[in-house]
Amino acid sequence: MADVSTRPVSDPPPASERRARTRARLLDAAHEVFGEVGMDAASVEMICERAGFTRGAFYSNFESKDELFLALITQLAEAKLDEVAVRVKGLEPDAPSDPSALVRRVVGASLGERMEPQLISEIRTQALRDPRLAEAYLTWQHALRIRVEGIIRDVVEMLGLRLRLPIDEAAQLLLDVSDDTCTRATLEGRPLSEVAALLNARIERLVTVLVE
């Protein structure tokens, strides 16, 4: 009997890679379901069905739906800050230091279709009723502020700017204004493109006041 050749079978991806893919699919599914029905109505079952996983796969990655949505807003915020950080690294030392021009060049806030204002507002509302989620939410807020502080520090040092407030206070003020702008504009029923335009305008005015 002739030998039958067999094709080499590729090794399966490592467990860490499979876990990362599973988490990514669950996060994408959660974002889609949230956009359709909101956080309260978005059940674990709906998210698992959309992602094509079992409840076991869900709870192997997240303790609860709240933890999943907190991970989602972390992912969305980090993606935006990564974009800003890349723009900052692309600045030249002799770049125009005019605050308005700087904001337009560096920030370029765009909410797209990601629905962050609604998602963050719903998680914050849940956190007001749940001490464990409140602690996790505050930890996320702190990490976000630290990341913004780093971006501000890079811009200040690169362009030799002087601020009227310490960097940590400036970062918190930028986050507070961003949060208030997005929440209020969303409550008013403005389209996301208009929310983004308002956010950019308010950040531009704030930076003009912060820079000496």
- Asked whether the predicted pLDDT for residue 6 surpasses 60, the reply is no
* CATH classification for the domain delimited by 15-62, as one of 3.10.50.40, 1.10.10.60, 2.60.40.2140, 1.10.8.350: 1.10.10.60
Domain boundary assignment for the chain: 15-62, 66-210
pTM for the complete prediction?
0.79
What average pLDDT does the structure give for the chain? 84
pLDDT of residue 2: 46
Whole-angstrom distance, CA of residue 159 vs CA of residue 81: 19
Q: Are 151 and 201 in contact (CB under 8 A)?
A: no
Please tell me if the domain spanning 15-62 has the same topology as the one spanning 66-210. no
- Asked whether the predicted pLDDT for residue 116 surpasses 90, the reply is no
Q: Are 170 and 210 in contact (CB under 8 A)?
A: yes
Within 10 angstroms of residue 87's Cβ, the number of other Cβ atoms is 15
Query: Which carries the bigger pLDDT value, residue 90 or residue 97?
Result: 90
- Segment 16-36 shows an average pLDDT of 91
pLDDT of residue 189: 83
DSSP 163: B
- Asked whether the predicted pLDDT for residue 195 surpasses 90, the reply is no
**Which tokens sit at 1?**
């009997």
* CATH classification for the domain delimited by 66-210, as one of 3.80.10, 1.10.357, 2.60.120, 1.20.1550: 1.10.357
pLDDT of residue 90: 80
DSSP 212: -
Sign of CA dihedral 134, 139, 140, 146: positive
Whole-angstrom distance, CA of residue 118 vs CA of residue 161: 35
Residues 6+ apart with CB under 8 A from 84: 106, 107, 108, 151
pLDDT of residue 150: 93
3-class secondary structure, 211: strand
